[in-house]
Chains A and B, each alone.
Chain A
Amino acid sequence: MTRTAVATTARRGRKNQHTGAIIALLTPFGIAFALFYIAPIIIAVWQSMLVVEREGTFGKATQVFGGFAQYALVFQNAEFLAAIGRVLLFGVVQVPVMLGLALLFALLLDSPLVRGRRFFRLAFFVPYAVPGVIAAIMWGFMFSPNLSPFSAITKNVDFLGADLILWSIANVVTWVFVGYNMLIIYSSLLSIPTEIYEAARIDGASQFRIAWSIKIPLVRPAITMTAVFSIIGTLQLLAEPQVMKSFSSAVTSTFTPNMTVFATAAVPNTSLAAAQSVVLALATFVLSFFFLRFANKRSI
């Protein structure tokens, strides 16, 4: 009894001594996080509340507090709304296709159906080493009628035209990220103990049945994580469409929400651009958050 009490006091005493170490270990990241995450968020929110007022048409411009005036403008801005609609359409199609493929490849790699899995794992992952900008440049050339190795197709199908350009960009994003998502799901499959499958094998379950009824439910957390990162990535689309702009006149400078933010900031209308950034960040946050909630609820 006494010894426990002494030990507890000693431990508590030591815990207090650790305060210095805790602060020292957390401070460098804390400063960087405060400066480059918290402060920009505060500035963006503050900036988005300002409006420019002029004394007469040519008078001196001053920034004054305008409440939510900019946010009203954000939601009246047809181009920004169209851009959001465009990436949502993109996401609804591209994310399921990409994650479906990633899941299929991960399951095939994990099944006894495939030989040479080391090779395939690498071959599918290599595009992830190609930055979005470079991938978009490559595919831009591959889609253009003159240079493309598949000019028989690209001379007849206009991949860079207004009808298909969104899906050509979707192809670039899919090409880069399928292997990465595959690897996340595959790592998660590897951590399942194989004994779990043995009973099913003895009962004569096929590989397809094992994948559907055992493996997929068990790798749900990994799929959820890839989905959240994909949702964030979709709403933030910038580099790929920005590059495609120089290959295709169908990509306008307000094609995606982030491109609209950049175009608005370049006008310059920093307050409106800040309000657009805040709306976009909130939308991303809310979508990811609810997807996580939804996915967690379903798995219980």
Chain B
Amino acid sequence: MSKSASLAYKQEPLLSRAAAMLIMGVFTLYFLVPIWWLFVASTKDKGDILTTAPLWFADFNFFENLGALTEYRGGVYFQWLLNSALYAGLGALVATVFAGMAGYALSKYQFRGRDTVFNVILGGVLVPSTALALPLFLMFSQVELTNTFWAVFLPSIASPFGVYLSRIFAAQAVPDEVLEASRLDGSGELRTFFTIGWRLMLPGLVTVFLFQFVTIWNNFFLPLIMLRSEELFPVTFGLYAWNTQLNQIPELRSYVLIGALISIIPLIVMFLSLQRFWRNGVGAGAIK
């Protein structure tokens, strides 16, 4: 914190400062205790989890639990984790490229019907993706693609919100003068985009990627409707499936707990390392 900020802090009444810090402290507990509990629970064996203090460690069995998870049903859990990485990673990558191109075109060129095209896409942002899941199932069953990788992957490559963000980023980050200059140099429009345009938009495109990645990673209705075979499940859906069987197979509980913990680690790491893109991105989305 800078010196002036520190001075400003001291100028405020002590009571206000204490009240503010109390609120922040209480809610820090609210937000972090469940995650702490999950971590502690995943280090315990089946007995300790019921008998020892829930918020503190007993015997440290984390690696034993992890080993058991790795072996359970031929390591299907790690297949799920890989599936999620493919659905969300590849899906978000393709969606970002498509959205970046479309947003750039909508921002940098004047053409007839541009506003209509943009408004239709913007309408797409308001269409709930769960409303699309059922008709998508009907479409995919026509071409016999239900219960395949493609049934979950393909619908995620269209991101209207990504186009909306990309258009804002293209308007902010790509000056018209740069385009004029490259035209004078004789560069074609597409070449200009693929050599210069997307580089200038890159910080924004990372944000689009993040948003789409999280959307796909969290998608529930599509796997619920499309997938039957366990080996195609994304990790969240696989854990959901295990969780529904807890009454019949109680030993699944420790797999659900440690599986849940491991599944959120990649996202937390990604969030922490790409924080600044989140900040810029959500800001850009909110400014009208």
Interface size on B, residues (CB 8 A): 102
- Using CB atoms, name the residue of chain B closest to A206: B16
B261-277 interface mask toward A, CB cutoff 8 Å, 1 = contact, 0 = none? 00110011011100100
Instruction: Tell me the smallest distance from the CB of A132 to a CB of chain B, in Å.
Output: 6
Q: Contact at B54–A147, with CB atoms within 8 Å?
A: yes
Q: Contact at B126–A289, with CB atoms within 8 Å?
A: yes
Q: Contact at A29–B218, with CB atoms within 8 Å?
A: no
Instruction: State A288–B123 Cα separation when bound (angstroms).
Output: 11
- Write out the residue numbers on chain B whose beta carbons fall within 8 Å of the beta carbon of A225: 285-286
Q: Contact at B9–A246, with CB atoms within 8 Å?
A: no
- Write out the residue numbers on chain B whose beta carbons fall within 8 Å of the beta carbon of A187: 279-280, 282-283, 286
- Using CB atoms, name the residue of chain A closest to B162: A29
- Write out the residue numbers on chain A whose beta carbons fall within 8 Å of the beta carbon of B32: 123, 126
- Write out the residue numbers on chain A whose beta carbons fall within 8 Å of the beta carbon of B101: 25-26, 28-29
A112 with B8: in contact, given A32-B98, A40-B135, A128-B271 (CB under 8 Å)? yes
Main secondary structure of the interface of A (DSSP, over half): helix
- Among B37, B158, B286, which residue has its beta carbon within 8 angstroms of that of A188? B286
Instruction: State A245–B220 Cα separation when bound (angstroms).
Output: 15
B13-32 interface mask toward A, CB cutoff 8 Å, 1 = contact, 0 = none? 00011001101100110111
- Write out the residue numbers on chain B whose beta carbons fall within 8 Å of the beta carbon of A113: 9, 12, 16-17, 20-21
- Using CB atoms, name the residue of chain B closest to A299: B288
Q: Contact at B134–A232, with CB atoms within 8 Å?
A: no
Q: Contact at A137–B239, with CB atoms within 8 Å?
A: yes
Q: Contact at B155–A44, with CB atoms within 8 Å?
A: no
A74 an interface residue at 8 Å Cβ cutoff?
A: no
Q: Contact at A138–B132, with CB atoms within 8 Å?
A: no
Instruction: State A175–B27 Cα separation when bound (angstroms).
Output: 10
A258 with B130: in contact, given A26-B117, A130-B35 (CB under 8 Å)? yes
- Write out the residue numbers on chain A whose beta carbons fall within 8 Å of the beta carbon of B268: 126, 129
- Write out the residue numbers on chain A whose beta carbons fall within 8 Å of the beta carbon of B110: 15
* Residues of chain B having any CB pair with chain A under 8 Å: 1, 5, 8-9, 11-12, 16-17, 20-21, 23-24, 27-28, 30-35, 37-38, 41, 49-50, 54-55, 95, 97-99, 101-102, 104-106, 109-111, 117, 121, 123-124, 126-132, 134-139, 154-155, 157-158, 160, 163, 183, 188-190, 193, 214, 217-218, 220-221, 224-225, 236-237, 239-240, 243-244, 246-247, 256-257, 260, 263-264, 267-268, 270-272, 275, 278-280, 282-283, 285-288
* Residues of chain A having any CB pair with chain B under 8 Å: 14-15, 17-22, 24-26, 28-30, 32-33, 35-37, 39-41, 43-44, 47, 101, 104-105, 108, 111-115, 120, 122-135, 137-142, 146-149, 151, 175, 178-180, 183-185, 187-188, 190-191, 206-207, 221-222, 225-226, 228, 232, 235-236, 238-239, 242-243, 245-246, 258, 261-262, 265, 270, 273-274, 277-278, 280-281, 284-285, 288-289
- Beyond A15-B110, A29-B101, A261-B134, list 4 extra A-B contacts (CB 8 Å): A22-B109, A133-B239, A135-B34, A141-B257
